[in-house]
Structure 1
Amino acid sequence: MKAIKCFLSVQEQGEHDPLWHFRIGYAYYYLKQYKEAIVAFKQSVALDPEDSQASMFLEMSRNAASKAGNETIHIMNIEQDEDLLEVEEKIIPFQLVAHSDGSISLILNVGEYKHEIFQTRTEEGFEGNGYDWGSLAAVFLKEKMPHLVDILRFDPEAGMFAAYTNNKEAILSFAISFREACEDDSLMKDLFSRAVLD
């Protein structure tokens, strides 16, 4: 809270500085004041649309704010879990996020990664956003890992793909397999040909 007061004391100087808004949002986020964080991150993204970190935190704030009982859920340091840390090193640019309620999310800040795959169906309305990634992942899950269909949930936003579950083994298995599939362009194009526009 002291950090926020400090930032607000120089609000006029920081009004047009995306980093200032990001830091305010970051402070609010970790105080679990998600609505305030959303406002700050929105302003940061508006001032600097290329800032992928601000976009990612904006979507995370929205997700946290929309969940019932979100005041008791916070992000934990995955470095405390060797399994998560080991897998995360293998799935870049995807990231793992562990939550204090026991759930684990797999997220991707969309934009450049494999954008060319989505360009093959731009005339149909696909843009390569988080929803499109969700549609692609749903096809992959149904066809390649059907045993996880009832275990994993997708919660994409425009700027971020997100999958989550309380089953650690399931999310790690999916993360590794989906990341490997993403590196096989012919497989990706085949799967994407059956994706349904959300």
Structure 2
Amino acid sequence: MGATNLIELDPGKYSLLLNAGTTDVDDVITSLRHEPNGYFWEGIAQRLVATEAQHLDGRFGYDPEAGMFVAYGTDREALAELGALLDAVASDADRLRAIVAAAIADGFEFDD
């Protein structure tokens, strides 16, 4: 099972959840001088959408907290695709490092 969980809260309304601080890459996040919290994961999600999945832009909203990343909306397919992208990063330290390095090079600031 991946790091994310896609749930239907109400008919046609979905939330993608990632419990921050429970991924395989938390130590890597800390070593990169970031906090493995929901806000950090929002930054990763934004970068993934901007660089790898532009077709997802605008298809859901973000509502992270310190302990959890949340994306929400009515487009289950888009949220599932974001979940797959996040699951891949949450289990691959090298991929996480590459995303953070590219974000920093682009002047992106994580809000963690």
TM beyond 0.5: yes
Report the secondary structure of 2:12's partner residue.
coil
1:197, 1:137 → 2: CA distance?
11
1:127, 1:173 → 2: CA distance?
24
Alignment correspondent of 2:40:
132
The structure carrying a bigger helix percent of its residues is 1
1:183, 1:127 → 2: CA distance?
17
**Dislocated runs of 4+, deviation >3 Å:** none
How far does the alpha carbon of each residue in 1:10-30 deviate from its partner, in whole angstroms, 9 at most, with x for none? xxxxxxxxxxxxxxxxxxxxx
Q: Which moved more, 1:161-170 or 1:174-183?
A: 174-183
2:4 to 94, 99, 103: 94
Letter in 2 for 1:151: R
Report the secondary structure of 2:17's partner residue.
strand
How far does the alpha carbon of each residue in 1:90-141 deviate from its partner, in whole angstroms, 9 at most, with x for none? 43x321221215221111111131212211332xxx2111111111111111
2:36, 2:74 → 1: CA distance?
27
Residues 104 and 186 from structure 1, CA distance in 2 versus in 1: closer, same or farther, beyond 3 angstroms? Answer: same
Higher relative CO (Cα under 8 Å, sequence separation at least 6) belongs to 2
2:57, 2:31 → 1: CA distance?
26
Summarize the alignment of residues 2-41 of structure 1 with structure 2, pairs less than 5 Å apart.
none
Residues 173 and 197 from structure 1, CA distance in 2 versus in 1: closer, same or farther, beyond 3 angstroms? Answer: closer
Kindly state the Cα deviation for residue 156 of structure 1 after the two structures are TM-superposed. 0.3
The structure carrying a bigger strand percent of its residues is 2
Kindly state the Cα deviation for residue 152 of structure 1 after the two structures are TM-superposed. 2.2
TM-score with structure 2 length normalisation?
A: 0.81
Letter in 2 for 1:161: F
5+ residue gaps, structure 2, are none
Kindly state the Cα deviation for residue 150 of structure 1 after the two structures are TM-superposed. 1.2
Total equivalences in the alignment: 105
Alignment correspondent of 1:56:
none
Summarize the alignment of residues 1-150 of structure 1 with structure 2, pairs less than 5 Å apart.
90-91=1-2, 93-113=3-23, 114-122=25-33, 126-150=34-58
Identical aligned residues as a percent? 27
How far does the alpha carbon of each residue in 1:36-81 deviate from its partner, in whole angstroms, 9 at most, with x for none? xxxxxxxxxxxxxxxxxxxxxxxxxxxxxxxxxxxxxxxxxxxxxx
